[in-house]
Amino acid sequence: MAPSWLAVLDDTISACTAHSRPDLAHRLQRRRARLLDPRLRVLVVGLLNQGKSQLINALLNAPVCAVGDDLTTTAPTVVQHAESPAAALVTDSGARNGNPAIAGPAERVAVPIDEVTRQVSRRAEPNMAGRVVRAEIGIPRKLLADGLVLIDTPAISGETSTLGRMLAGADQADAVVFASAATAELSTVELELLTRLAATCPNIIVALTKIDLVPRWRQVAERNLARLASQRVAATLIPCSATLRLAAAKHGDTTINAESGFPELVNCLQHQVAAKSDEIAPRTVGVVCGAAIGELADGLKTALSAPLATRTPDAETQLELAQRAMDELRRHTGRCQTVLGDQVADLASDVEHDLRERTRRILREVDRVFDDADPRVVWESFEQWLRDSLTDAAEANLGWLVQRCQWVADRVIASFPNDVADAPADALLERMADPAEHVGDLDEPRLDPFSAGQKIFTGLRGSYGGVLMFGLITSLAGLPLINPISLGAGAAFGGKSIKDESEARLKRRQGTAKATAQRHVDDFFLACGKESKDLTRQVQRILRDHITERAEDLAERIAAGSRLARQTAQAAAVEREQHRQRVATQLRSLVDLHRRAMTMAGQRLGGTPSSLELSA
């Protein structure tokens, strides 16, 4: 029967593949292969000079790992069981070719077992056989026979490369022995390392080494345990002394061996080998799968929360924008109407004034003409002139009116938010009546002529007085009433009367002509003024209607836009909701898987797992 942890692991791997995280899946696959391997790989790590190599040597009671006061171990050493002692160096041929970046095929060179420590620990010596990737040592030991594999590693320094290598190594190890000398408590650096290790490999043994040197190592151990607990690192702390263990082996002294703390470490390791499938594997799977699922869930949660952040502002902005556009439009329309009213009022008064000005000028001319000329003589030509002048005035006035109307239309339209290409008043203005129409026919006034009969009569009437006056005077002188003098005087008086009468008649005619012309011009002014006023009103009406129409048009457009936006937002919300539910379902299945992993691990770890609660 396949163990339950395998099922959880396989499920997690397929979940990783399903969520397109092949990297995670690949890592878990490799982990799976390692977990199915009955051997127990134990990584021995620690900072510089914490006694890692000596720990292995003391465990096996054989100098398999190089030990020194300075940085000694430069490449990992893998120690495993073999029937007879054997050693080999694995080198990277790529490095030999001068390019360490390209990892060439690994070469395995067998070396004598006495040589291997020297080979691994050689320092600045130039690489004769490429870079040593690792050393492999096999020795016959009962401890190793069950499948325990010990891996000695170079010291972890602050550099990221060694740290990365250590974590990569821990990823492929079943258990980690973290060596920390009892001469000092666990430092911050060490605690951080342990926390990171616990995330990849949950089976940690903290070996408190060198307890033979420190009288108060028990206090150090206690404080270390407290620190581990405060960092929530689940680890077993085993105090040990390699010196005592080696001394015990030398003298065959079991008491010293017991004091060295190594029997406990050996027991612990042996127990872990035996319980690999039952204890180690589930716990590892629990943590590793928990972390992987946490990573997946984080991705999902980001996907879940990301649109949430943008949705609300989107629709709201749309609505707000529409609202603002509406307000703007209303304000503009109002302003347009006011502008239009003002402009049209100005225009009407201006045009009227202009027309009046023009007609007055004509009337003045008429007065001037008829002050001298005899209407009877000039009437024909005068009538023509008046007609022409009035037509000109009407044309000029109406032309100006049209210009002004157009200008007003342009102003009004320009003050409108959206540009309106067509000028609505143009058509009307083109339809405008011919200005000459307003100039009606001029009625010829009654200009009674001074006929010959009238002249004779007037002459006779005037001469009568003269003849009589002078006849009487000369009769005094004895002359008859009718005499040459009186006749002469009568002739002179008659002539004078005719002249006076003729002038009076001219004056009368001129007055009549002026009055006629005046009346005519007034008629014209009325007709023309009416026409231009009508025109102005019509233009105003057209423009007003136009503005209203445009405003309605725009309002409709804005409303349609916001309606569309609302619809889109609603559709998006629906889609998001669906997506959210989809993600939530996925998340729920992940949470299920996570719970299985956790139950199987038989423990709850702080950090990522607890944060894996459904936010929905």
Partner 1 sequence: MTRPPTPADIAWNILTAAAEQYPDSPRATNWLAACVARLGEPIRIAVAGGVAAGKSALVNSVAGELIAPIEVGAGTGVCAWYRDGAEPAAAVCPPGGPPRPVPVARRDRRLHIDLRHWEAHQVARVLVDWPARGLRDLVLIDTPAAVDADWLAGQCDAVVYATPEPTADDLDLLRSTMDLGWPAAQVTTIMALSRADELGAGRIDALTSAKQIARRRRADPAVHAVCHNVIAVAGLLAATGRTLREDEFAALGALARTPKAELDAVLLSADRFVSADEPRVPMSRPARMELLDRFGVFGIRLASTLIRRGANTHATLAAQLVQRSGINELRESIGRYFLARADVLRARSALRGLGMVLRAEPRPAAAALAAEAEQAMIGTHDFAELRLLSSLQCGRLTLPGGLAESAERLVGGHGVGVAERLGLETEAPEAELRAAVFDRLGQWRAQSESPLLSTRQRAAARTVVRSCEGLLTDLAPTPAYN
Among 94-102, 194-202, 207-215, 346-354, the segment contacting partner 1 (CB under 8 A)? 207-215
Task: Return the residue of 217, 262, 382, 493 that touches partner 1, per CB under 8 A.
Answer: 217
Say if residues 81 and 145 touch (Cβ distance below 8 Å).
yes
Near partner 1 in 232-251, by CB under 8 A: 241-244, 247
Stretch of 86-94, 151-159, 397-405, 590-598 contacting partner 1, by CB under 8 A: 151-159
Does 181 sit near partner 1 (CB under 8 A)? yes
Q: What is the DSSP string of 206-229?
A: EEEE-TTT-TTHHHHHHHHHHHHH
Binding flag, residue 384, partner 1 (CB under 8 A): no
Judged by CB under 8 A, which of 259, 352, 501, 531 binds partner 1?
Answer: 259
Per-position x/- string for 42-61, each x denoting binding to partner 1 as judged by CB under 8 A, each - no binding: ------xx-x--x-------
Distance in Å, CB of 250 to partner 1, minimum: 11
Q: What is the DSSP letter of 61?
A: T
Nearest to 481 by CA among 497, 496, 464, 504: 464
Binding mask 59-78 for partner 1 (x = CB under 8 A): ---------xxx--------
Minimum distance of partner 1 from residue 77's CB (angstroms): 19
Region near partner 1 per CB under 8 A, out of 86-94, 182-190, 291-299, 370-378: 182-190
Distances (CA, A) of 387 to 224, 393, 436, 515: 122, 10, 9, 16
Q: Tell me the three state secondary structure of residue 508.
A: helix
Q: How far apart are CA 42 and CA 52, in angstroms?
A: 12
Query: If DSSP codes are grouped into helix, strand and coil, which group holds residue 433?
Result: coil
CA 25, 29, 31, 35 dihedral sign is positive
> Which residue lies nearer to partner 1 by CB, 241 or 474?
241
Least distance in angstroms from the C-beta of 243 to partner 1: 5
3 state DSSP class of 78: strand
DSSP 8-state class, residue 133: E
Tell whether residue 187 is a contact of partner 1 (CB under 8 A). Answer: yes
Q: Which of 98, 105, 126, 215 binds partner 1 (CB under 8 A)?
A: 215
Query: Which lies closer to partner 1 via its Cβ, residue 185 or residue 350?
Result: 185
Residue 35 or residue 207: which is nearer to partner 1 going by CB? 207
For residue 436, give the DSSP letter.
G
Identity of the residue, 181 or 291, whose beta carbon is nearer to partner 1 in the bound complex: 181
Assess 207 for contact with partner 1 (CB under 8 A): no
Residue 200 or 209 with smaller CB distance to partner 1: 209
Number of residues that bind partner 1 (CB under 8 A): 30
Distance of closest approach, residue 192 Cβ to partner 1, in angstroms: 12
CB contact at 8 A, 518 and 370: no
What is the rounded CA–CA span in Å between residue 223 and residue 42? 25
Can residue 211 be called a binding residue for partner 1 (CB under 8 A)?
Answer: yes
Residue found under tokens 């949470």:
591
Largest CA distance in the chain: 209
Cβ proximity of 603 and 233 under 8 Å = no
Between 89 and 244, CB nearer to partner 1: 244
Cα 126 to Cα 53, 95, 111, 130, 367, distances in angstroms: 23, 12, 18, 9, 129
Interface residues for partner 1 in 404-423 (CB under 8 A)? none
262 near partner 1 (CB under 8 A): no
Q: Give dist(CA 412, CA 418) in Å, integer.
A: 12
Q: For the chain, how many helices (H) and strands (E)?
A: 18, 9
- Compute the least distance from the CB of residue 266 to partner 1, in Å: 19
Out of 175, 193, 238, 256, point to the residue binding partner 1 (CB under 8 A).
Answer: 256
| Binding region for partner 1 (CB under 8 A) | 48-49, 51, 54, 68-70, 157-159, 181, 183-185, 187, 189, 210-215, 217, 241-244, 247, 256, 259
